[in-house]
Structure 1
Amino acid sequence: MTENNRLKLKGLNDAQKIAHTLTRLDEYWSLVMAMWENDVPRVQYILSVALKKGSSVQQILTTLEDAITGTYHPRGYSGDDLDLATLVYRLGGRQLMYALNHHLGLLSLHTLQAHSIFTSITPTIGSISPDQFDANINTLIITPHTNAVIPLQGHSIMMDEIALDERASHYRPANCVIGLCHSHSNLIDPMLHTYDSALRIATKLNEGEVHLGKEMSVMGIRAFGDDNLFPILAAPTCKTENIVTMMAILSMARDRWRATGAEAHFSPIFCFATDGDSTRRGAGHCLFVKTELPMTSKLYGTLSCMPGLNLATGDDEITLDFDYKHIFKHYGVLTRYLIWLPGQDKFSIMKLLNPDDPQDVPRAVELMQSIIALSKIETNPLLDGVAVCADMSAIKILGIMLESLLLPFIDISLSLQQQIELISCYCHLTFALFHMHHSAFMPHILFYDTQSMCKNICFCVAKQQKLDG
């Protein structure tokens, strides 16, 4: 009870005190009912601010009453509020954000834009061209870092697809239609000159000569040691590109990095990275695994001393890389032995081997760690049987192999030399097993991807040492 209330009650008799208390209780109950009926936005934030200010009970109640009537709107947002608003905007767009702002007190788009950095990439209209790469490299990478001190770091070009609504849209800045596949957009004029322009585009779509993009091909550039990814291409695709077309796209990205002056201002491209897409794998192999590293290369003295290392590269010594998360998702093992591990049962093992989300990388890492732990369990031929011991011998080899691959990515206490030693162990062990058993040991594609990834690690370490000793 506040001091003012105590003073008010001091001169009252018992009946008056009871009446006063009942009046206050009635006010409190009315406030509770009003909050229940009106669903006051951000009540928790209102109470948090009031308590931090040391407000009295009466002041808090008054603030809540003002919030119910709409005369008070809380200001200030936490990092979680910004993250939630960004998610809503990305998934539902302006309309959903507007609705939740007015109903739940979520940030408005204007507030979100004031507190966040939005990357605006030039969309691909028609066929992929050098101008699109130049515009995005200059706008998103060179211009924002004109006066920045740039460390000497190699860069990686990465490419993948993201989900896309299959629909055509009007792009107001250029007054044209976007959302059409880049492979066949050269067959139409995307500009909306007249009403007939829209009819011609619709006709081509109906006849199947031009397609709506099924996915968005996205290409980005990232510096080693930096978490920022800079997009340089966003092109709707109908997934009909062949290896020759993909080679042209990858070559264009590589060439524009140098032509725009980005290589001189930042650092060269070390590698091209992708997932398991067969077209990009084929194009990457043709471009970046074609020329033996010459003896005149600065890298030759280091890399030629690594027995078994494939020294084939592309122009400018660019190498092919594969996303380690894509590789981690491809490993599996027998269910009957994983149940030996502490804390595992049939349900948890089935979740490991058959996840709800095939892209669940943490689950893949957990599975690999489980196999490694399983491989360290000792067996006894007299107690467990010869068949079990034979299986466990194979699992022990698999455990050593997976541990050599996984530890360099998750154990930050390892030195660079220890990381490379483990990677080398993985490469030699898998090569020996694949040479003996071929696809019965590992699918050909997985063998190619993992060997390429490990080779690229060795090349990139050597390149970075030469770039900045």
Structure 2
Amino acid sequence: MLDEIALEKRPRWDNKTNKILGACREHSHRVSLDFCDLDDAVAFFASLDAKKVHLASEATVAALGSLARNPQMYNPRPVCISGTCKAETGEQHAHFLRRLLEATDNRKTDGKITYRTTCVASDGEAKRGLALALEFMKYRLSSTSPIYPLLQPLEFMNTLVGADDITPDKDYRHVFKALRSLLMRRLGINVLGFEIVPAIVKQHLHDIGLSPERLHSLLNPNDRQDVDLTYGLLKEIWILPDAPPNASPTYARARAALQLFGRLAYHLVMPYIYLKLSLREQLTHLSTAAHLLLALFTMDGAGTDFMANQTFVNIMLMIKNAFFCVAKVKIDISDEEFFLILLGTDRLEKLYGLIRTAVGTDSNFDILQLAGRASNLTEVSVILALRPEWDRGPRRLKLPAVINEQGDVSSKADHISPASWIGDVHVAGVVLHSCWINGRLKAEQIIPGANDHFERCSQIAGFDILSPFGELLVGKPDADSAFEIDPELLVQGTTDSVDDDSTANPAHSTLQPQAGEVLNDDIEDFEDVLAIHDAENPKHSPHVLVDGKQISKASLLKDLMQNRSPRLSTDRTKRVAGIAAFSNNSGLHNQITFANATGAPSLRIGNPIATLVLCEEELFLAIGQVNTIILGTQPMDSIVLDLLPDRGTKISYQIFQLISTDSVDDPSGQHDWKWSLRFESKSIHDVTGRLVYPLNPTVSNRIPGKPTYMFSSHILVTMAANIHKQLYVSTPLPKVNRSETFPYRHAGKACFHVQPDSPFGNGRGEFGHDWADSAFECTKCYPSVKISKKNYQRVLEHNGAHILFDESLPATVEPCGLCLRPFPMCKFVFQKTTGTTSARQIDWTRSTCLNPLKFQMAAAMKSSEKSPCTNHLIQCPLQCEMVIWTYNLATHYRAHHLLQTTVNIGTVYQTGSSEREWMRKIWENRQNQPTVRKMKNKKVKTPLVISDAHRSVMAFR
């Protein structure tokens, strides 16, 4: 078992080795730890100050634990305590594990008893996970291994092992807590195409009667280590009833997705908390969970949209290790019992609890204190193993039921021991192959289509439970931002707390001890005195000579360390976290919440909406479901419709897959589209609320238990045209990749296309802007010239050449440098920011240009042969608040400031001779645009065929 425990960062002198303890193992080789005189201490602290070595913030504790029923035997025996600064890489930690394993192998024989290391367990820490994979997933299970015949028939089982078939393990409580964290993930989890976001979880749990206080507790992200809360939340998910018959289709779909996630949690948790399960039933549950997880992770290409790679790997490693350990016990001791609950690191966590309470109220410790307390507790365990009659356990001999008749999980689920297990856990009657197959059959019953999916997966080379796409996932990193906790839960989870006296009120600080208070520094002094007098004839001198005086080594280290760190808080957790005794933080935060108490029409999470998206440079209508709502920076469960157009409103949604109906779906013939209860693979995030329009479609209950939405083409066509009519020119539109189901198809043709010949400005935005065009088309040239927008300099120089040399443009107009429309038809507004002209940004929401092309103002001001044009926007120098193009400056002065300036208007803004010569060449060669090179070996998609009957223009005929 391997785990870390927090340390107080201070150096200590060890009287047995005459060394300075407390340095990190990663860098301690850079300095001598021997302590013979003052110079040794000075050199050590100089290395600390230079950051060449660090004081250990945590200690890695390795312990051995027997898989026996007897509590005196299965208590952990620490064999290694090593300080770390957490700078170690996975490869370096693997080397550390290798040395540790070599040391334990050298002492595995004790008289006539030989111990075997079956697995190495740890929590979910990423670096340790990589180290475990490097060290214990090096080889394929050999066909000569005794356990090979038991495990080889298990389809999809990963068979990578280390020396002596050792396998890595993950603590099951950490796995359960990871499942709870998934339900609080900001972007939600994708369950067979449906995204479950925290707001949906809250809504469904509230609807089954959970109080707001209970919901707040279960979904409090500030308490993610509480195992009871984990059991409670997962239990509430797996007992969710079916959706009411009158529920909306999206609500019913959400309930089904939650129930499916609940089944996964049920089969993962029950083997560890239901005392009546036999070992055969436990393994069957774990097999069911493995196959459910495999299906949910791979179906519809969910992958990390469902859960993080690391979480997936940790669960699968836990399940794999359980089967491997049972196989080893069946071979080594065929008539023995095997307790699944002894796997993981829980026994090490209990040892940490004993260490913290071993010395009265001093629950913190440095590395020397940790080693001393762990050694003493180990001696106690050895004595009780030799004299079990001395071990008087708790007087309560009977553990209350962990799960009652109502299915409630008791808080005692976190205190289960082998003595309390009722089910038959003998390995003799367990057939691993049967357990694995039965688990798969149960998973196929839970997920329709899983059988066919597994058959397809079996054809993928290298496919197994740790290689769900044919490539090993162990060690693959995850994007941190994708798994952030929902900020709304973080706000709700913040509770007002009163700091300890030292933080809240400096007047009552711990600079002077209060009555009955014992300071940690006093305890350190007492322990140092004991260390000095530990032996009558100490091997190493406990003193050093400083300025002719004998000073104890322990006191010297304390004095040298005292001015290098602030006085820490006396609160245990704050002290370990390094928080000072005095703080200027108030500890209170303003909490702003929004609620729609007016009863006004509102949009809620889970409601259907209509919107416009770009697909292959064309504009299409999309129907979807709201997943998240954000107003400013505040997540919302609902928002009044009046606030949807607000600039700070952002909506995230999933696009429905719509299919055509038939007479069975709608005998009345009023609807020709329905939701297939499936979604497009990728969600759309943070879309401006202006693009979203709520819908109230007809609900069909033709299929019992699977309500769906029905739509009519003429309504959808009208909706597409109305949304398009309301768009601003600069409204950013999300892009969606073409799929087999989007854009929506009828007879193989794409439907609900927003057509260029719409009555509203060519159908290309409120002022005629073409949202889809990736090229600027100059209508002043004949024949017309198209210029790619990917290089804004080409657009600026082409239009600049028109302004300078096109005689067809009247001398009194001020053409726009981006679209050539005259002022005031085309005008610009700068954002209200300070700085130079080169730093000014265009406010596209208030500007009216048809070609809102973003460009760098500073780069546009510089002229070169490759980019000669310096036409750029400036604020009028005569303070008229107009934003004008520099090539139009003389025209602007003549039109607006003829009587305000004595400057020679002809010389207001003149291009240099080189610039003018280069611009003339551009004007003369304006028709000779470079051809776009076609990329070789690039697959060209078949162009979309647009359905004429479903164009947006049909709404106006």
CA positional deviation for 1:386: 1.2
Post-superposition CA distance 1:127-156 (Å, at most 9, x none): xxxxxxxxxxxxxxxxxxxxxxxxxxxxxx
**Residue 312 (1) aligns with residue 163 (2):** no
CA positional deviation for 1:311: 1.1
Partner of 2:138: 290
CA positional deviation for 1:265: 3.1
1:418 corresponds to which of 281, 288, 296: 281
Give the whole-Å Cα distance in 1 for the aligned partners of 2:93 and 2:24.
14
Give the whole-Å Cα distance in 2 for the aligned partners of 1:380 and 1:199.
74
Residues 108 and 115, structure 2, Cα contact 8 Å, conserved in 1: no
Partner of 2:58: 215
The AA in structure 1 aligned to 2:271 is P
State the superposition RMSD in angstroms. Answer: 1.5
2:265 corresponds to which of 386, 391, 402: 402
1:170 corresponds to which of 9, 13, 19: 13
Residues 89-168 of structure 1 correspond to what in structure 2 (within 5 A)? 158-168=1-11
Structure 2 length normalisation: TM-score?
0.32
CA positional deviation for 1:341: 3.5
1:440 corresponds to which of 287, 305, 312: 305
**Residue 373 (1) aligns with residue 239 (2):** yes
Give the whole-Å Cα distance in 2 for the aligned partners of 1:305 and 1:268.
25
Select the structure of larger CA radius of gyration: 2
CA positional deviation for 1:216: 1.1
Residues 203-282 of structure 1 correspond to what in structure 2 (within 5 A)? 203-225=46-68, 226=71, 227-262=74-109, 265-282=113-130
Give the whole-Å Cα distance in 2 for the aligned partners of 1:361 and 1:315.
34
Cα pair distance change 1:363/1:380, threshold 3 Å: closer
1:352 corresponds to which of 211, 218, 227: 218
Give the whole-Å Cα distance in 1 for the aligned partners of 2:243 and 2:49.
65
**Residue 390 (1) aligns with residue 233 (2):** no
Residues 91 and 134, structure 2, Cα contact 8 Å, conserved in 1: no
Partner of 1:70: none
**Residue 322 (1) aligns with residue 170 (2):** yes
**Residue 303 (1) aligns with residue 151 (2):** yes
Partner of 2:36: 193
The AA in structure 2 aligned to 1:259 is N
CA positional deviation for 1:340: 3.1
Give the whole-Å Cα distance in 1 for the aligned partners of 2:67 and 2:14.
34
Residues 405 and 423, structure 1, Cα contact 8 Å, conserved in 2: yes
CA positional deviation for 1:357: 2.9
Match of 2:78, SS state, is strand
**Residue 180 (1) aligns with residue 8 (2):** no
The AA in structure 1 aligned to 2:139 is T
CA positional deviation for 1:444: 1.1
Residues 242 and 256, structure 2, Cα contact 8 Å, conserved in 1: no
Q: Which has the higher strand share?
A: 2
The AA in structure 1 aligned to 2:23 is L
Residues 19 and 33, structure 2, Cα contact 8 Å, conserved in 1: yes
Of 420-429 and 257-266, the range deviating more from structure 2: 257-266
The AA in structure 2 aligned to 1:164 is L
2:321 corresponds to which of 446, 453, 456: 456
Post-superposition CA distance 1:283-324 (Å, at most 9, x none): 111111221112211111111122211111111100011111
CA positional deviation for 1:355: 5.0
Residues 137 and 160, structure 2, Cα contact 8 Å, conserved in 1: yes
Post-superposition CA distance 1:325-349 (Å, at most 9, x none): 111111244111112344x212211
Structure 1 length normalisation: TM-score?
0.64
Q: Which runs of 5+ in 1 are unaligned?
A: 1-157
Partner of 2:683: none
Give the whole-Å Cα distance in 2 for the aligned partners of 1:188 and 1:395.
56
Post-superposition CA distance 1:75-129 (Å, at most 9, x none): xxxxxxxxxxxxxxxxxxxxxxxxxxxxxxxxxxxxxxxxxxxxxxxxxxxxxxx
Residues 371 and 399, structure 1, Cα contact 8 Å, conserved in 2: yes
Q: Which has the higher helix share?
A: 1
Residues 271 and 456, structure 1, Cα contact 8 Å, conserved in 2: yes
CA positional deviation for 1:373: 1.3
The AA in structure 1 aligned to 2:242 is E
The AA in structure 1 aligned to 2:102 is D
Give the whole-Å Cα distance in 1 for the aligned partners of 2:143 and 2:48.
54
Give the whole-Å Cα distance in 1 for the aligned partners of 2:101 and 2:306.
36
Give the whole-Å Cα distance in 2 for the aligned partners of 1:462 and 1:231.
26
CA positional deviation for 1:393: 1.0
Count of aligned pairs: 308
CA positional deviation for 1:260: 2.0
Match of 1:173, SS state, is coil
Give the whole-Å Cα distance in 1 for the aligned partners of 2:125 and 2:109.
28
CA positional deviation for 1:262: 4.0
Give the whole-Å Cα distance in 2 for the aligned partners of 1:453 and 1:261.
25
Give the whole-Å Cα distance in 1 for the aligned partners of 2:88 and 2:113.
32
Match of 2:142, SS state, is coil
Give the whole-Å Cα distance in 2 for the aligned partners of 1:378 and 1:198.
69
Residues 108 and 116, structure 2, Cα contact 8 Å, conserved in 1: no
CA positional deviation for 1:193: 0.9
The AA in structure 1 aligned to 2:137 is V
Cα pair distance change 1:352/1:266, threshold 3 Å: farther
Give the whole-Å Cα distance in 1 for the aligned partners of 2:278 and 2:214.
34
Partner of 1:336: 203
The AA in structure 2 aligned to 1:451 is M
Residues 288 and 315, structure 1, Cα contact 8 Å, conserved in 2: yes
Post-superposition CA distance 1:399-456 (Å, at most 9, x none): 1111110110001111111111110000011101101211111111110110011000
Residues 355 and 363, structure 1, Cα contact 8 Å, conserved in 2: no
CA positional deviation for 1:358: 2.3
